[in-house]
Amino acid sequence: MPWPTVEYVAKMIDHSLLRPDLTTDDVRAGCALAARYDVASVCVRPADVPLAVRALDGTDVAVGTVVAFPHGSSTAHVKAGETAAAVGYGAREIDMVLNIGRLRAGDDRYVADDIRAVAEQTAARGVLLKVILETAYLTDAEKARGCRIAEEAGADYVKTSSGFAPGGATLDDLRLMRTSVSARVGVKAAGGVRTLDILLEMAAVGVTRFGATATAAILDDLARRRGDVAG
């Protein structure tokens, strides 16, 4: 089976710039890397959206950000406000954390209304909405239910993790998530996507987006394996 192209894999990656210690220079450097590899998007902290929009102007790399990150415990009103502000600054993708405790408590209506409040802000503006389940804290039944609720509430993607919980994406979770939503909804893996082999294994079970900080290492490895570069 032939290797996928570097360009194809790059457009599956959201380059993550979410560490709390990143400086503005770090964010600019991360945006430059994202532009150099022409990835799908950068995912930056909310305060960094205007900076990233300026840095990526004229490129084909979208700017995304996070809402209620990483715990998901803001009210729906606050989440909607965060989303409206981020979109106003130029964000084209939103990764929101659902209310984990309410999902575990079985309060499906609350969880749905929480997501819908954000979806109402994104759908009208053509902005992608990815809903983070934080799978490390959930049972399989809760993961499947969370996926179904997210789809019904207007999510474009369901996503495993914030990267700040005890565990990240696993193949078993990704298979479960893929079968818990329709073909309309994508699946994003985040947390532990550090090598090309891991990414390709996850892509094989239906994942189409990846949150990664090891973007350069992954894509350079693919180029080497394809024989696109020497070494």
The verdict on whether 130 is a catalytic residue reads: no
* Active site (annotated) includes residue 14: no
The H or E element containing residue 210 is strand 209-212
Catalytic residue among 114, 156, 159, 173: 159
Question: In terms of Cα–Cα distance, which of 70, 11, 4 is closest to 41?
Answer: 11
Question: Pick the catalytic residue: 14, 48, 95, 173?
Answer: 95
Token readout for 115 is 């997501």
The H-or-E segment that residue 6 falls in is helix 6-10
Query: What does the alpha-carbon distance between residue 26 and residue 14 come to, in Å, rounded to a whole number?
Result: 16
CA distance 194 to 125: 32
User: Which is catalytic among the residues 79, 130, 143, 188?
Assistant: 188
Residue pair 59/32 in contact (Cβ under 8 Å)? The answer is: no
Active site residue 188: yes
Residue located via tokens 């309060």: 107
So which residues are the catalytic ones? 95, 159, 188
